[in-house]
Amino acid sequence: MANSAALEGINGLRDIRRSPASHLAPALVAGSIRGKVVLAEGPFQTMAGIRVDPRSEEGARIAAATGGLPARCGDVGGADGVSVLWLGPAEFLVVAPEEAHDSLGGDLIGSLTEALGDAPGQVVDLSANRTTFELSGPRARAVLEKGCALDLHPRSFTPGTALNTEVGNIPVVLQKTGEESFRLFPRASFADFLGRWLLDSMREYASPEVP
């Protein structure tokens, strides 16, 4: 009975929850151009902000709990569906599937908090702080280059790289997930603006190419 009640509660949370860019869903579908560039809001993610010295004992414990901390700027650590993005020498963003969240039956936040213990540092649940945009296709890089100062050429920005930057003047964490695919993590309050900026930047690829 207890398990049934817990499951109903979890499903109830999922039913009432709305993503920051949910109102743009029809526009994201209409503005995507198959075979060129596709934009979608990604699924809910469990996110945690970590501040810890990676060389310390508590850093080693957190590394064990996440599957590994990245060692330098641009690196992505983690394992088994958990990604750890480097934000600074002692600052990291942990990203995992939504079911990893404690309120949905997981234990990621609790495990990280326990790993840190009473040591100096911080574990903060940021699951509601950011959303995720997924941009993919042969023209995805060109869209980002309209408003991102990073060198996004494949020789410099390789799959598995994640960096703090701005896209369309919006602060984001930009992760390259494949040869032609990217994830953007803006704060929730910027989701509407960034989504519309990306759609506007994609518009030219809906027109027939001139020979």
Q: Pinpoint the residues of the chain covered by CATH 3.30.70.1520.
A: 45-128
Threshold 0.75, pTM exceeds: yes
CATH class of 45-128: alpha beta
- Pick the range with the lowest mean pLDDT from 97-106, 136-145, 165-174: 97-106
| CB-CB contact of 87 with 124 (8 Å) | no
- Pick the range with the lowest mean pLDDT from 13-17, 51-55, 180-184: 13-17
- What proportions of the chain, in percent to the nearest 5, are helix, strand and coil? 35, 30, 35
Q: Which CATH superfamily is domain 21-42+131-206 in?
A: Probable tRNA modification gtpase trme; domain 1 (3.30.1360.120)
Q: Phi/psi of residue 96, each to 5°?
A: -145, 165
Taking the C-alpha atoms of residue 46 and residue 83, their distance in angstroms, rounded to an integer, is 10
- pLDDT, averaged across the chain: 91
Q: Which residue has the tokens 């020498």?
A: 89
Evaluate if residue 116 carries a pLDDT over 90.
yes
